Amino acid sequence: MTTALIFLPVSGALLVWLVPMPRAWVGSTALLVSLAEVALWIAAVAGFGFGSSGLQLEDRASWFSDLHVSYHVGLYGFSLWLVGLTAVVLAASVGYACSAGRDRPRAYYGLMLLLTGAIVGVFAAQDLLLFYAFFEAMLIPLYVLVGVWGGAGRIDATLKFVLYTMAGSLLMLASIIVFGLSQGTFDLVDSGTSGSAWLFLGFAFAFAIKAPLFPFHGWLPDAYRESSPEVAAVLSGVVSKAAAFGFLRIAIAKFPGPTDDFRLPILVLAAIGLVYGSLLAFRAPDMRGVIAYSSLAQMGLITLGLFAANDLGFDGAVLQMVNHGLISGALFLLAGSVERRTATGELSRLGGLARGRPALATVLLTVGVIALAVPLSSAFAGEFLILAGVFRQGWIWAVLGAGSIVLAAMYVLRLISAVLHRGVGRAVPEQTLDLRPAELGILVPLVACLLALSAWPAAVSEHSFAGDRPARDVASGFRAPGEELTAKGALP
């Protein structure tokens, strides 16, 4: 099942590339494949045993045995949600690309589908090397997606993005090798924990860049601004979650000692990122900038939750990952829609779009208020859990977090009023259309997901870890109770 989730999009990509078809069909084929992925995910949810712990929907095959590396995939509750997030956001992005139209469709859609497969693979991988392989494989399509279909400054942006990311992930590779060889296996399920601070830092560094955490976000503004909106949506909505997932599945679960030791510095960075991102979002001159920096802030928040390292923090972090993925995806797609109409994202040249365009106004407003975590929204639920969790590590984190709620209100409202309200901006033509049905068809499902989550955030937060005790689940390495560490791969 998990294998199917990974390779359905990949085979879709091959289909798009290899089977001759009219140009016009390419987009719809890709869309169909990504919708099929969503359907497959729903089937996976239906068959998922949320009550039981341990790895589910597991597939395993040896890759190379002398170093005990295997193709081992499977899902936990939280990975299931992240996979779902991937499927949904990617489907929306592909749909958006269809509606916007992209040059060189075969290459484009093929890469999008490949990206889908790679991201799902990251969330499903249970072998460190496989994880790394998928983690890197994400970059391959992204590099071209940003670099070819991006804006004017795309080339520098891609380069920055890739070099930053690789700087982290290559150190992670070093850590993986050392960890895997010293454990005798690269399997995440079979391997035990480690107390090495250096290894932990290797992993943490990679994830801190990917997320990104302050001050490793040098690539973020350019990448989010220069890529096409749907790719930015994927980047900030889904790809950044790979980092959070890595923190959870590897850095925290495999390095309990160093996690404790480095909690303070990481919490500090995350909190700085939260405040810093919020303040810069408040100052950003364009829509994408606001969303980009708010992403920085949100990833800081998620990291706070993860490194709170308690029940509330873990549950909240997973919930917030899903939330932020949907929100940020929807916001970037909206930014794209606005940019298509006005040819600019600069806030000073926008304005007055609400009047006469109720659909745009409603959707942007809805996503916006969820983004600023108005109580009763799913984002609020996530932030509440995270901050309640991190509160136990020290009141200051929660105070900073709560302060950032105020800042979030400030920058989101600034964004909304700058785009929708005030006088009609210079860049807004009189005959600017409202959201078209095709765009609504993409955005409304995203908003619906958010509203559904707002009505029932516990759907994610209570079904991410086994039982009531996420912290114990994490500490036990996500094993079912009674399942002992099998030393299959241990070297003599």
Partner 1 sequence: MITTSAWVCLLSPLVACLAIALAGNRISRRGSGYLATGAVALSFAAAVVAFVGLLGEQPDERSHLSTAWTWLGGGSYHSGLSVLVDPLSVFMMLVVSGVGSLIVAYSLGYMDGDDEERRFFAYMALFVFSMLLLVQGGNLLLLLAGWGMVGLSSYLLIGFNQRRPQAIAAAKKAFVMNAFGDATMVLALFLLVQHTGTLDFAATFERAQGLASNHWVVNLVALGLLGGAVAKSAQLPLQTWLPDAMEGPTPVSALIHAATMVTAGVYLIVRAHPLFELAPTVEDLAAGLGAATILLAGLIALVQTDVKRVIAYSTMSQIGYMFLGAGLGSYANGMFHLLTHAFFKALLFLAAGLVIHALAGEQDMRRMGGLRRLMPRTWLAFLVGALALVGVPPFSGFFSKDSILAAALDHGTYGYVLWAAGLGGALLTGLYTFRMLFLVFGGEPSPFVREHHHAHEGKEGPLSMTATVAVLAVLATVGGWIQLAGVWTPVSDWLFPVAEPLVEATGRQEAISSVLAVGLGLLGAAIAWWIYAARRGRVPRLRAVRTLLERKFYFDEAYDLVFYWPAAAISRAWGSLVEGPLVGGAGAGLGQATRGAGRLTARAQTGLLRSYALAIAASLAVLAVVFISVR
Partner 2 sequence: MIRTPHVDWFALTPVLALLGAAGVALLGAVLVPRGVRKPFSALVCAGGFATAIVFAALVYARSAEGQGVIADSLLRDRFAALAQLIVAGAGLLCVGISYGERTRGDHVGEYYALLAAAGGGMAFLVGAGNLMTLFLALEWFSICLYVLCAIDVDLVGSLEAGLKYLVVGSFGSAILLFGSALVYGATGQLSLEGISRAVSAQGISDDPLLLAGLAMLITGLGFKASAAPFHMWTPDVYQGAPTPVTAFMSAATKTVALVLTLRVLVTAFPQEAHLWTVTLAVVAVVSLVVGNLAALVQRNVKRMLAYSSVSHAGFMLIPIAADSALGGRALLYYLIPYSAMSLGAFAVVAARERELGRPVTLENLAGFGWERPFLGLSMWAFMLGFAGFPLTGGFVGKFYAFSAAYRHGWTWLVIVGVLATLVSLYYYLGVVRALYLRPSAELRLAPAGGSPPREAVLQVSVAAALVVTVVSFFAVQPIIDVAKDAAGSLPF
Binding site for partner 1 (CB under 8 A): 160, 163-164, 214-215, 217-219, 221, 276, 279-280, 282-283, 310-312, 314-316, 319, 352, 354-355, 358-359, 362, 365, 369, 372, 374-376, 380-381, 384-385, 387-389, 391-392, 395, 398-399, 402-403, 405-407, 409-410, 413-414, 417, 420-423, 455-458, 461-462, 468-471
- Neighbouring C-beta atoms of residue 276, cutoff 10 Å: 19
Q: Which does 475 bind (CB under 5 to 8 A by kind): partner 2, partner 1, none?
A: none
Is-contact 427 343, C-beta < 8 A?
yes
Scanning residues 47 to 106, which ones bind partner 2 (CB under 8 A)? 62-67, 69, 104
The least CB distance from residue 198 to partner 2, in Å, is 8
**Residue 107 vs 388, nearer CB to partner 2:** 107
Torsion of CA 258, 261, 265, 271, to 10 degrees: 90
The least CB distance from residue 163 to partner 2, in Å, is 6
Scanning residues 144 to 163, which ones bind partner 2 (CB under 8 A)? 144, 147-148, 154-155, 158-159, 162-163
19 is a site residue for partner 2 (CB under 8 A): no
**Residue 163 vs 406, nearer CB to partner 2:** 163
Q: What are phi and psi of 20, to 5 degrees?
A: -70, 130
- Name the token pair of 419: 């785009």
Q: Which does 63 bind (CB under 5 to 8 A by kind): partner 1, partner 2, none?
A: partner 2
**Residue 362 vs 432, nearer CB to partner 1:** 362
**Which residues, in sequence order, are bridge partners of residue 127?**
187
The least CB distance from residue 327 to partner 2, in Å, is 30
- Name the token pair of 402: 């709560």
The least CB distance from residue 247 to partner 1, in Å, is 18
Is-contact 12 67, C-beta < 8 A?
no
**Residue 140 vs 365, nearer CB to partner 1:** 365
136 is a site residue for partner 2 (CB under 8 A): yes
Q: Which does 374 bind (CB under 5 to 8 A by kind): partner 1, partner 2, none?
A: partner 1
Is-contact 272 300, C-beta < 8 A?
yes
Asked whether the CA dihedral 448, 454, 458, 464 is positive or negative, the reply is positive
Is-contact 449 363, C-beta < 8 A?
no
Q: What are phi and psi of 87, to 5 degrees?
A: -60, -45
**Residue 144 vs 409, nearer CB to partner 2:** 144
23 is a site residue for partner 2 (CB under 8 A): no
Q: Which does 282 bind (CB under 5 to 8 A by kind): partner 1, partner 2, none?
A: partner 1
Q: What separation in angstroms does the CA of 351 have from each of 184, 430, 464, 482?
A: 60, 12, 41, 60
The least CB distance from residue 136 to partner 2, in Å, is 5
H helix intervals, 150-195: 154-183
Q: Which does 181 bind (CB under 5 to 8 A by kind): partner 2, partner 1, none?
A: partner 2
**Residue 177 vs 272, nearer CB to partner 1:** 272
Q: Which does 36 bind (CB under 5 to 8 A by kind): partner 1, partner 2, none?
A: none
Exposure string over 133-161, b if 16+ CB within 10 A, otherwise e: bbbbbbbebbbbbbbbbbeeebeebbebb
The least CB distance from residue 323 to partner 1, in Å, is 12
**Residue 195 vs 481, nearer CB to partner 1:** 481
The least CB distance from residue 463 to partner 1, in Å, is 9
The DSSP string of 312-326 is: HHHHHHHHHHHHHHH
**Which residues, in sequence order, are bridge partners of residue 61?**
71
Q: What are phi and psi of 21, to 5 degrees?
A: -155, 160
Cα–Cα distance between 103 and 105 in angstroms, integer?
A: 5
Asked whether the CA dihedral 303, 305, 310, 316 is positive or negative, the reply is negative
Nearest alpha-carbon partner for 332 in 356, 359, 368, 297 = 368
Query: Does an H or E element contain 26, and which?
Result: helix 23-46
The least CB distance from residue 322 to partner 1, in Å, is 14
Binding site for partner 2 (CB under 8 A): 62-67, 69, 104, 129, 132-134, 136-137, 139-140, 143-144, 147-148, 154-155, 158-159, 162-163, 166-167, 170-171, 173-174, 177-178, 181
